[in-house]
Amino acid sequence: MIYQIALATGNSHKIQEIQNLLSKNLANASSFHVLSPGEAGVIKFAPQETGTTFSENARIKSELLFTMTDIPSLADDSGICVDALDGQPGVYSARFGGENLNDRERAELLLEKLNFSNNRKAKFVSVISFTTAEGTIQFEGRVEGEILKVYNESGQGFGYDPIFFYPPLNRCFSEITIEEKNKISHRSIALNKFIHYLAERTGPPVNLL
């Protein structure tokens, strides 16, 4: 079975990571055909992320795209939660410091705010939301790590990857490949739960709560 899925995101890094993970065939020989909003026929996808939780915002995105396309739609709402900042920036990670900052400036702002703290503990959280005519279902993933003391210039990644150190690999998220990230990340944990949910189902591809 081929599942056609529209991705309710404007973040090209997320599209890359999700495509990479979903492009592998499912155990039962099913596979995914993933469409960006543009490929699904949506010229401007601009959801209002007015929720105060990852779950609310993920739902807003997947339900809006499904309404616009009639194609089963998948959204990710995610962010970094820092212990010493009482879980901030959390759901506001993409807007931390205001809309005008770029990824690097946001990461450096976080480093500034943590300057005097010895507690560097943080976690990435992702909620994956999947909407069809039958409703919406959600899955969550988390990964724990530490905020570095300085921005890591080397490597790639996006968002807070260059300041998120992952002790089990002894590297930060910007220094690992997409394939490595997809074995351990918050987004991949949530997506794998979704894939298992689909793989375990018999009958129609989705029959949601």
Interface with ligand ITT (CB under 6 A): 9-11, 14, 49, 76-80, 93-94, 124, 158-161, 173, 185, 187
By beta-carbon proximity to ligand ITT, the closer residue of 32 and 124 is 124
Instruction: Please tell me what DSSP assigns to residue 161.
Output: G
As beta bridge partners, residue 24 has none
Instruction: Quote the least distance from Cβ 69 to ligand ITT, whole Å.
Output: 15
Instruction: Quote the least distance from Cβ 95 to ligand ITT, whole Å.
Output: 8
Instruction: Provide the CA 195 distance to its chain's centre, in angstroms.
Output: 15
By beta-carbon proximity to ligand ITT, the closer residue of 2 and 150 is 150
By beta-carbon proximity to ligand ITT, the closer residue of 94 and 111 is 94
By beta-carbon proximity to ligand ITT, the closer residue of 53 and 117 is 53
- Quickly tell me which residue has 């007015």 as its tokens: 50
Catalytic site includes residue 77: yes
Best CA proximity match to 163, nearest among 105, 92, 90: 105
Question: Which residue in the list 70, 76, 77, 83 is annotated as catalytic?
Answer: 77
Rounded to whole angstroms, the Cα distance separating 209 from 199 reads 17
**Nearest residue relative to ligand ITT (C-beta):** 159
Handedness of CA 199, 208, 42, 45 (dihedral sign): negative
Rounded to whole angstroms, the Cα distance separating 122 from 128 reads 20
Instruction: Quote the least distance from Cβ 75 to ligand ITT, whole Å.
Output: 7
Instruction: Quote the least distance from Cβ 198 to ligand ITT, whole Å.
Output: 21
Rounded to whole angstroms, the Cα distance separating 189 from 170 reads 20
State yes or no: cis peptide before 89, omega within 30 of 0.
yes
> Catalytic residue numbers?
77
